[in-house]
Structures are given as C-alpha cells and as structure tokens.
Amino acid sequence: MKQIHLIHVVQSSSRHSWLEGLISELESQGFSQSLVTLHPRGDINNFLEGGSVNVFSQLTSNKARSIVGAINSIKKAQKSGSINFLLVEGHSAAYVGALAGRYLNLDFGIVHHNQPKYFQILREKSPIRGLIHQRIYNFYIKRASIIQSLSREVTDSLLTLGYDARKIVSVGHGVDFVKFENDLTDKAPQLKLRDGFPRILMVGRLALEKNYFLAIESFGLLRQAFPTAQLLIAGTGPLKVDIESLVLQKGLTDNVSILGWVKNIPKLMVVSDALLHLSMTESYGQVYIEACLANLPIFSFPTGIAIDLFQAENPLIHIISGESPKEINSQIKDFFTERVNDSKTKSPVFNEYRRHDQTIVFQEMADYLSKVIPKLR
C-alpha cells in the first residue's frame, strides 16, 4: 500500500502546540508530512527545521500573493509515489486547500475551527464582508473530502448546509492534560484577587461574539442579591476599553476585575465558584473541558462542546435558557442561593474526561485518516 503524505496547510507560521502534537503522533503512525504556512517564515520553521517535516512559507504577507504562493508550495510539497492529502486548519487555509484541490487534483480535509455562527454575526456588523466570507466558507465546505467536527454545534451546522454526514468525523480538539496538571502545581505566585462570593470567572477573547456586555448587565443584577460577588474577566481583545467603560458606568469597579492575559487559567478556575460563558457560538470551547477538569460549575448558552456535555448529562453544565440579563441572573442566583458562602478550593477531576485528552484525540485522528484517505481515490 502506498504511504500517505499529509500536507498541512495553516495560516500562521507561529508555533502551535496542538498542531505540533498532531504532527508528532502522525509521524509515529508512519505518515510522511509537509507543512505549508500562508505567512512568511516564523517560529514553526525554526522548530521543525532539521526534522522529517518539510516546511514551506510564503515570501509575502499580501493575501492574494500568499494564496498563489501557497498553492505553488503545495505543488512542491507533493511526494511522488505517495497518496498526497491536504489537511487544512483555519478559514484562509481552507480556501487555499479548496483551490489547490481543484487545480492540483488533490483531496483535502478540514479541521473545523470556524465558529458556526461567526459569519452570521459578522454580517450583522459588516453585511458585505460577512456575505463574502460566508460564500468563501460555503465554497470550501462543499469541496472537502472530510471534515473534523469539534462539537455537536459544528456537526449540526454542517448538516444544515447539506454536507454529507458520512464525511464528518466527530473528534474534539482536546486538552493538554499534562500541561493542565502542571499548571495546577505551578509554584508561581497567584494573582491577588478580591474576596467575595460568588466569584464568577469568564475566559476568552474580548470580542463581540463572546457577549461580555450582556454578562456585565447580568452580573449587575446578581450583585443586588450578592453584594460581594466578584466577576473575573481573563482575556485580551478589541473590546477592552468598551468593557472597562461599561463597568465604570454600571458602578461595578469594586466587583469586576479585568485581568488581561492570564498565564495560568487552571489555578484561577480552582479558586472560582463558576464559569460564565455567554459566547454566541463555538467550534469547540476548550474552556468547557478545562472547567470540568477543575470541577467548576459552568453557566453557558448552548454552544460548542457545552451541548455535547449537557446531552451527556454532565452535572457541571447549566445551559442558560434565556438571553436577557434578567433570565441569566435568575438562573445563576438560584444556583448560588442554595450555596451561600460555600466557596472553596475544588478538587480537580481527570478520569471522567480522559477521552478529551489531546493524546487520545491525536490517536483517533491518525487512525481515522489512515483508514479513510486510501479509500478516497
């Protein structure tokens, strides 16, 4: 049987632990591999240089030229005598994969990182831009040979678009369990946090789709029942100034802490009382699994893997039924009314979530690709 040669296509040339872990597992399973980045040479080149993976980067960051350059790089990366298959990650990379698949007669698969409702949200903000990117998305989705769906939300969105269910592999993104455990035992000083109950944690990019404004409105109502309640916001992004302004406007400066980028989220989770995640859409939602590992109750809209966990009757998952501040506050308030001042450090839980360990995810992907790719042609 011919050897499978995987050509990974990614946008960034910076290092990414998930991609590196997948490449390592695939190599151990006998795949030969190349990597094409849409950006000029970066840290990933330096990391992989001298190994078995050939890395092709572009000479320019200009989008149109980098697309043409990436297709030429894919052509150079093809290995004669092998089954060449593209595995693409990201919106731009998937577009390149679809073009290369068409012009170079290659099959390609997508690791579906795109949030299913993102382009709908983008269209509300920028109609023309959103429409263009939605059409690009539809273009490459219809042409993909397989798609790795990271959650039920992704799978449902693909089925709604008419994508063949037989071409969907439902394998999550996973969490680096080793790193998570190491973070919990890290001896570095923790952040100094205000006392109060309940201590609500939010983690994510400070962007429109994460619904921070709605969260702050809801938290303002919660503070009426719990005057010492604390809202911790860990993350950076374009809405930082707007969020700070709303906190000031609502008179919540003593109850809301905008922490910025936080190195050790797991240690922050074990000293919090709940995770609040009001994202409108998620492709996966790694933060859900991390919160589960920290034994942290989760209040979320039905997005990403929260849907999967809820359907599996995970007791930590509380799906918020309404989208108004009053309804959100009511559900959280009722939960904590029965738990007044029982804030304590939580014991991490690992065994129940082993199938979300990245090492197992990588093995599942390797097994799936080795079985499916030879049958495509």
- In DSSP notation, 122-163 reads HHHH-HHHHHHHHHHHHHHHHH-SEEEE-SHHHHHHHHHTT-
Residue located via tokens 């936080």: 262
Q: How far apart are CA 74 and CA 87, in angstroms?
A: 11
Percent of the chain at pLDDT > 90 equals 88
Instruction: Name residue 108's beta-bridge partners.
Output: 86
Return the pLDDT at 125. 87
CATH of 4-174+357-376, one of 3.40.50.150, 3.90.226.10, 3.40.50.2000, 3.30.499.10: 3.40.50.2000
Helix (H, G, I), strand (E, B) or coil at 191: coil
Mean of pLDDT values over 118-133: 92
Q: How many of the other CB atoms lie within 10 Å of CB of 41? A: 15
Q: How far apart are CA 98 and CA 85, in angstroms?
A: 12
Dig out the tokens for 128 from the structure.
Answer: 């023309």
- State the pTM of this model: 0.92
Choice among 177-191, 236-250, 312-326 with the minimum mean pLDDT? 177-191
Return the pLDDT at 1. 66
Mean of pLDDT values over 309-316: 93
Question: Which is nearest to 204 in space by CA: 112, 254, 152, 268?
Answer: 268
Q: Tell me, yes or no, if the two domains 4-174+357-376 and 178-354 fold the same way.
A: yes
Instruction: Name residue 269's beta-bridge partners.
Output: none
| Domain spanning 178-354, CATH architecture | 3-Layer(aba) Sandwich (3.40)
My answer on whether omega of the bond before 198 falls inside 30° of 0, hence cis, is: yes
Max Cα distance, the chain (Å): 69
Residue located via tokens 């409702």: 117
Dig out the tokens for 28 from the structure.
Answer: 């151990």
Return the pLDDT at 345. 56
Domain ranges of the chain: 4-174+357-376, 178-354
Q: How far apart are CA 198 and CA 369, in angstroms?
A: 45
The band of 343, judged by pLDDT with boundaries at 50, 70 and 90, is low
Percent of the chain at pLDDT > 70 equals 97
Amino acid at 125: K
In the Cβ-directed half-sphere of 293, how many Cα atoms lie within 13 Å? 26
**Cα angle for residues 182, 364, 348 (degrees, 5° grid):** 30
Mean of pLDDT values over 21-42: 96
Mean of pLDDT values over 198-224: 96
